Amino acid sequence: MTKLKPRLSLIGIGVFAVLLLVVAPLVLTDHWLSNLGKYCCWAIAAVGIGLAWGRGGMLVMGQGVFFALGAYSMAMHLTLETAGAGVPGFMVLYDPLAPLPAFWEPFRSAAFTLLAIVLLPVIVAGLLGYALFKRRVKGAYFAILSQALAVALATLISSTIRETGGDTGLSDFKYFFGFVLEDPANRVMVYLIAAALLVVCLLVVWQLYRSRFGELLVATRDAEERVRFLGYDPATVKLVAFVLAALMASIGGAMFVPIVGIITPAEIGAAASILMIAGVAFGGRASLFGPALGAMAVGWGQSSLGSAWPEGWTYIVGLLFIVVILFLPKGLSSLLPRFTAARRSPGEQPAAGTAAPELEAVQS
Amino acid sequence: MTDASLVVTDLRVEFSGFVAVGGVSFDAHLGEVRFLIGPNGAGKTTCIDAITGLSRATGSARLGGRELLGRPVHKIVRFGVGRTFQTASVFDELSVLQNLDIAAGRHRPAASLLRTRRGVDASIEQALEETGLAGELATPAGILSHGQKQWLEIAMLLVQDARVLLLDEPVAGMSQDERTATGGLLQRVAAKRIVLVVEHDMDFMRRFATRVTVLHQGKVLSDGTVAEVQADPKVQEVYLGTAGAATTAAMSVVPEAAGTPQRKED
Amino acid sequence: MSTFSRRLRTLVATGTIVTVALALAGCGARAGDGTPGAESAAPSCVDTSGDTIKLGFLNSLTGGMAISEKTVSNVLHMAADEINAGGGILGKKIKYIQEDGATDWPTFAEKAEKLLTQDCVAAIFGGWTSSSRKAVKPVVEKHNGLFFYPVQYEGLESSPNIYYTGATTNQQIIPAMDFLASKGVKRLFLAGSDYVFPRTANAIIKLYAAKLGIQIVGEEYVPLDKDDWTTQVAKIVAAKPDFIFNTINGSSNVGFIKAYYDAGLTAATTPIISVSIAEEEAPAMGHEITGQYASWNYFESLKTDTNPKFIKSWKAYPNSSGVTSDPMEAAYISLYLYKALVEAAGSFDVDAVNAAAKKNTITFAAPEGTVTLDGENHHISKPGHIGRINANNQFDIVWSSDKFIAPDPFLKGYDWFPANVRDQLVKAAG
Amino acid sequence: MNALVPPLLNGTAQGALLLLAALGLSLTFGQMGVINMAHGEFLMIGAFTAYLVQQVIDSSDLSIPVALPVAFVVAGLLGLLLEVSIIRWMYRRPLDTLLVTIGVSLILQQAALQTFPAQGVPVKQPGWLDGQLTILGYSWPLRQSFTIVLAAACVAILSAWLKYTSFGRRIRATVQNRDLAETAGISTRTVDRLTFFVGSGLAGVAGVAASLIGGTNSQMGAQYIIPAFLVVAAGGIGQLKGTVIAAWAVGVALSCFAYWTTGSLAQVLALILVIVFLQVRPQGLFTVRTRSLA
């Protein structure tokens, strides 16, 4: 069983990869392919949330912060690429003579941009996580603090119009590392990069989940003090998961920009961060595929149900939170083993959802 | 007294003005099963909390000449101090093997964490053998019996290669047979490691204790072999005379169940 | 070890798939390969063979902006019904597809693309915030679609694929400043929400104020989603302005108005001129705002030949909010303007419509008066009006521009606007 | 006029509104461990109640005093409904209550958007709140002192209720040790329901106060929820005096930052200030020391 399962999962990732990378581009229209690309970006962030929250017990309600780091790094580069040697248009009005803000300058370089997409979230999440986990901030506190950070960042970006484009965000990108974004072939390429990155992220967590670290992470989630008494520093264990989750959110954000064509503070604030959580909860926070598939399902629901029945979709998202958390705390993915288990030995119920570890959090 | 002993001197723990432990000294050595007993609220668990870095304390607790107080929990563990809790605290969602593997993990290089476990460490097999859990290798710890969970905890301390085992009521809730088995296990373990047991169960103490320290209201009341302690009139008074009253009073002040976090008034 | 090598194999296999896929895809155009743009757009899939024509309406029906955009959506439906009752466009009945932008700008982009490529609509109508417009702009440009945007905005933009039926700055902000100058205002305070419209409007106001000799005694911004203005109003009181120029949007206006009256300010001492408070918003303030001013191109109280009919239809419309207002009227114009354009072109084809806009003088007898389309910058001429709120939350018109103001999104006709800024902005706008 | 006076006074009023919003949370979150993200929507319901009361009682002089208890009951009953239908199943899963109530808040927002005019509804201020008090040369809006008085009254009543009534004692007993309270014959179910009723009802009262300050619409609750949670956390869980001090401090900080920098930056700085504070002192201003594993 323990040997079989990871192998099955690996086959699952393979099938998923073929579906995303080979079948989807052949079958889907340009519009739906770019929608799927958008869902892939959310799914990448969701895989990270699954790691941090599902396995690590850290309810990261502010992944918008890291999504923003990647997205804005990418968007600044693409804006400069589009603007050429000049200063982006939106900056001109407020001060026509002022030079490009200093923090924009390095983003002219493609290499620096790619590096920033990877390193910025690692550094920020590293410092933040170190500060919070060492002080044993966890549970609801951690969730609310992380959400407050997302709100603060979104407000900050909204109010710095000249430096960041403000509420209107950055948009109207013409090129993507030298490729013309309007060209349908290049759009397929951008999609494939996002889809491939999602597959890579799945492979990374697949290996993590079956590794000793994965076990240690679950142990830390369920009994942090106990892990401490085994000689580990839980802060370090959590930090690794948190930083990885941040990195994935950043990558998702970075790919979101060329696919969707706009990034604004609304995509990183409280509501956006919560919607990322919704997909993960829906799919199954602790499972391998649950977060990614859940995020994609929520994205798809927004596209299709949101069109057919806009008011209804808001109610559906609301009900989704209530019903899933109330009756299926492990998400839809927990139904699958439940069915197979029921078929194998009727009457034997698998262990119900456990979320007890959070209890201690409120008290510390 | 050898270098490898645990020596606690003048240990004091205060909770917002309430003195839980007020200057306790004792020591524990290889080869003996050392018991710490006393009524509820006597400060037994608090002593262990202090030694393992969970509660802030003054005084001194040295292991092999190295000071433990004032260090973070995981550092103290790395000196070789391991403990169990009143309510068995194992990782319910993980299997017995995974539980033990994590316990054995701190000796491994960090990079090995990223690899998958292949095979079973020798130390783990040995611990499974000793605690009689060999048949439960793949069982999720959550569905073990209460006694098995306690043994799993002890097994975790063994693979962790702890030099000192601080056991907080290891036989609570066990059947008579399980108690006997546990006692035997502790006596075998004590040959190579320092074993300190906090216990309520007088019968268990009488059968397996080498030496006993009796705590009462945060102070050492008596110290010695089982016979010596039982003969001590002060101990008799606490346990027979005013024991009822003291227990009730103490219970309302310091909730004992360490597994479920609880509040206490300032 | 076998696991490890197998894993390696998987990784290699995945890598190969990715590389092959990327190589297959990576044959797209690179920068400098020639001009991208309309040529690369797929041929339009709009179906004009039947007796209906599909149009897309794109408004936020959920989320925070639904507060404003629902009405625009309703008025678009009304206009479509009216046009259909009158025989449709080029004899084809409008079949509209309503999409929800959900107050989410990427959703606006997604839905615009869906409307153009999946539903094959001939044109899209809607949007409210500048963010929504900026999200839709690249999409309609890429697919060579048409987007009609009905809200007053900060200008400094033009696109061959967008028609703007709301005011640009020289049709709302500048008339308001002219009005203030005529009132002899010397000390002006700028209060706005913290987003692009107020920031841009105030940047322009400051430039023009310098020319008019009006002193700007302070400038305050509060985030769009925050209602509490008490601290900022305390600063306004301390600055002692003659007049307040209000570019606050949404429910934050309610907080501003309440704090303003609580601080003892009144229309008699320190009046406000607003550019986002219309007939719909005025009653929701929770305070009498009689005597305060607003600058718009349309008021319900406007006396034109066409206005009574518009008001009557709207009041009778099932989803009516009861009053008419400027953004609604601009949305109403947008559909009729499209009708006029298509009929001038004799075709629904985007290029034909754009060509017709350049060649012909397209006009529409709108409720605000007969507006004329500028075929070059895709904005329409509008009258500037200043209204003063009366006890019925209607506006008494106290000042009007001499004539209809021609749209000038880049403020080319205003010498006080620095030419170097304009040049850069025109360049950046492409 | 002293430059410190306006931000201090306005900040105190701002803090008072924050306190009203946080007071209910400090009960439901602090005492029961339930993280109710729909608390902001209960506040919205209080504001809409104020509007509806004004439709019945025309005189705003009278309608606001009437609206206060009505809003308390309406929001309280809604909270009770939430407790009975959903929250009761989740006392052992606090983080999950957070997620469930996000769903509730989305539904309530959309329902309000569809029930009431989308632009929002007007709530008129009572005539006796017009005018200003002159304090050290600064004419301070009277309405602000009303918010402060209302907040102070709520705190006084709540703490007296917790301290002196038998129900209050039962709540405190249940909070300290649920199992022990149960064995002592306290019906913890009744206590839970009542606590949730009162906590949600306080949000309703806060809503009436908020309706006098800003717009009354479907989105109004969202702006209070995060600051209110931060205030409760910064004050220390289950610590009424901590909540009071934290709310005041955040209000004054917000107002001072807004006075000396910009409105947007003030929001950012205040949030960061609290986040940093909680990093330095994760247990909040005041704390009960416990001997526990956590």
Establish if D81 touches chain A: CB-CB under 8 angstroms: no
Contact A321 D275 (CB under 8 A): no
From A171, A180, A266, residue closest to C29, measured CB to CB: A180
Establish if B112 touches chain A: CB-CB under 8 angstroms: yes
- What pLDDT digit, counting tens, does each position of C368-408 carry? 999 999 999 999 999 999 999 999 999 999 999 999 999 99
Token digits of residue C234:
């305390």
Contact A314 D107 (CB under 8 A): yes
Q: Which chains touch D (3 or more CB pairs under 8 A)?
A: A, B, C
Q: How many CB atoms lie within 10 A of CB D176?
A: 18
In a structure prediction context, what are the per-residue pLDDT tens digits for chain C, which is 430 residues long?
A: 444 445 555 555 656 666 655 555 555 777 666 544 444 456 778 888 889 999 999 999 887 788 789 889 999 999 999 999 999 999 999 999 999 998 888 999 999 999 999 999 999 999 998 889 999 999 999 899 999 999 999 998 889 999 999 999 999 999 999 999 999 999 999 999 988 889 889 999 999 999 999 999 999 999 888 888 988 999 999 999 999 999 998 888 999 999 999 999 999 999 999 999 999 888 888 888 999 999 999 999 999 999 999 999 999 998 787 899 999 999 999 999 999 999 999 999 999 999 999 999 999 999 999 999 999 999 999 999 999 999 999 999 999 999 999 999 999 999 999 888 888 777 776 6
Q: Which of B77, B78, B153 to mutate to test the interface with A (most CBs of A within 10 A)?
A: B77
Contacts of B13 in chain D (CB under 8 A): none
> What is the mean pLDDT of the segment spanning A38-52?
97
Establish if B135 touches chain D: CB-CB under 8 angstroms: no
Nearest-angstrom CA–CA distance, B144 and A238: 27
Q: Please, are residues A351 and B141 in contact by the beta-carbon 8 Å criterion?
A: no
Contact C131 A311 (CB under 8 A): no
- Output the CA torsion C369→C374→C375→C377 (10° steps): -130
* pLDDT of D188 above 60: yes
**Structural domain span for residue A30:** 12-269
Res C287: pLDDT: 87
Report which residue type is found at D25. L
Contacts of C17 in chain A (CB under 8 A): 17-18, 21-22
Contact A168 C134 (CB under 8 A): yes
Rg of chain C taking only CA atoms, in angstroms: 24
**ipTM (interface pTM):** 0.87
Q: Which architecture characterizes domain B6-89+146-253 according to CATH?
A: 3-Layer(aba) Sandwich (3.40)
Q: Comparing C-alpha atoms, which of A185, A177, A147, A168 is closest to residue A276?
A: A147
Domains contained in chain A, number: 1
Please give the distance of CA C318 from its chain centroid, rounded to a whole number: 25
Strands (E), C179-329: 187-193, 215-222, 243-247, 272-274, 293-296
Nearest-angstrom CA–CA distance, A117 and A72: 9
Res A338: pLDDT: 61
Token digits of residue A167:
């509420």
Instruction: Kindly report the CATH number that applies to the domain delimited by C52-167+305-382.
Output: 3.40.50.2300
- Helices and strands (H, E) in chain B, number of each type: 10, 10
> What is the mean pLDDT of the segment spanning D185-196?
86
H runs (alpha helix) in chain B: 44-51, 73-78, 96-104, 122-131, 146-159, 176-189, 202-208, 226-231, 233-236, 243-253
In the block, tokens 């419309």 appear at C317
- What pLDDT digit, counting tens, does each position of C72-81 carry? 999 999 999 9
Q: Please, are residues C252 and C226 in contact by the beta-carbon 8 Å criterion?
A: yes
A110 occurs within a structural domain: yes
Percent of chain A with pLDDT over 90: 57
Whole-number Cα distances in Å, D196 to A143, C181, C191, D86, D161: 22, 57, 40, 12, 14
Provide the shortest C-alpha distance from residue C187 to chain D (in Å): 20
Res C20: pLDDT: 58
Domain limits of chain C? 52-167+305-382, 170-296+386-429
In CATH terms, is domain C170-296+386-429 a member of 3.40.50.2300? yes
Angle of helix A184-210 versus helix A30-49 axis, rounded to 10: 20
The CA angle A68-A73-A77, to the nearest 5 degrees, is: 145
- Output the CA torsion A88→A94→A99→A101 (10° steps): -80
A-D contacts at Cβ under 8 angstroms: 140
10 Å CB burial of residue D90 (0-12, 13-18, 19+) is: buried
Res C38: pLDDT: 42
Res A242: pLDDT: 97
Phi, psi of D119 (to 5 degrees): -70, -15
Nearest-angstrom CA–CA distance, D68 and D205: 6
Res C14: pLDDT: 59
H runs (alpha helix) in D86-141: 94-115
From B262, B265, B266, residue closest to D292, measured CB to CB: B262
Token digits of residue D99:
């997620």
Res A361: pLDDT: 34
Provide the shortest C-alpha distance from residue A330 to chain C (in Å): 28
**Which residue is closest to A232 within chain B, CA to CA?**
B74
Res A308: pLDDT: 83
Q: Which helix (H) or strand (E) holds A73?
A: helix A64-83
Domain limits of chain D? 12-221
Q: Please, are residues C327 and C278 in contact by the beta-carbon 8 Å criterion?
A: yes
CA end-to-end distance (rounded Å), chain D: 51
Q: How confident is the model at residue D288 (pLDDT cuts 50, 70, 90)?
A: low
In sequence order, what are the residues at sequence separation of 6 or more whose Cβ sits closer than 8 angstroms to the Cβ of residue A221?
A: A55, A56, A57, A357
Half-sphere exposure of C135 (CA within 13 A, CB side): 32
- What pLDDT digit, counting tens, does each position of C97-135 carry? 999 998 888 999 999 999 999 999 999 999 998 889 999
Q: Please, are residues D202 and D24 in contact by the beta-carbon 8 Å criterion?
A: yes
Q: Which chains touch B (3 or more CB pairs under 8 A)?
A: A, D
- What pLDDT digit, counting tens, does each position of A154-205 carry? 999 988 888 998 888 998 898 999 999 888 899 999 999 999 999 999 999 9
Instruction: State the SS3 of B141-168.
Output: HHHCCHHHHHHHHHHHHHHCCCCEEEEE
* pLDDT of A350 above 60: no
A47 occurs within a structural domain: yes
Region label for B195, one of left (φ > 0), alpha (ψ between -120 and 50) or beta (otherwise): beta
Contact A361 D104 (CB under 8 A): no
Q: Please, are residues C191 and C256 in contact by the beta-carbon 8 Å criterion?
A: yes
Nearest-angstrom CA–CA distance, B148 and B88: 9
> What is the mean pLDDT of the segment spanning D112-123?
87
> In terms of pLDDT, which residue wins out, C54 or A8?
C54
* pLDDT of A335 above 90: no
Res B130: pLDDT: 85
Establish if B17 touches chain D: CB-CB under 8 angstroms: no
Bridge partners (DSSP) listed for residue A180:
A175
Q: Which of C143, C199, C411, C426 to mutate to test the interface with A (most CBs of A within 10 A)?
A: C199
10 Å CB burial of residue A340 (0-12, 13-18, 19+) is: exposed
In a structure prediction context, what are the per-residue pLDDT tens digits for chain B, which is 266 residues long?
A: 445 789 999 999 888 778 888 888 988 888 888 999 888 778 888 898 899 988 888 999 998 888 999 888 888 888 889 988 877 788 888 899 989 988 888 777 777 788 777 778 888 888 888 888 888 888 899 888 888 888 999 999 999 888 899 998 888 888 888 899 899 999 888 888 999 999 877 888 888 888 999 888 888 888 888 888 888 888 877 776 544 444 443 333 333 333 333 333 33
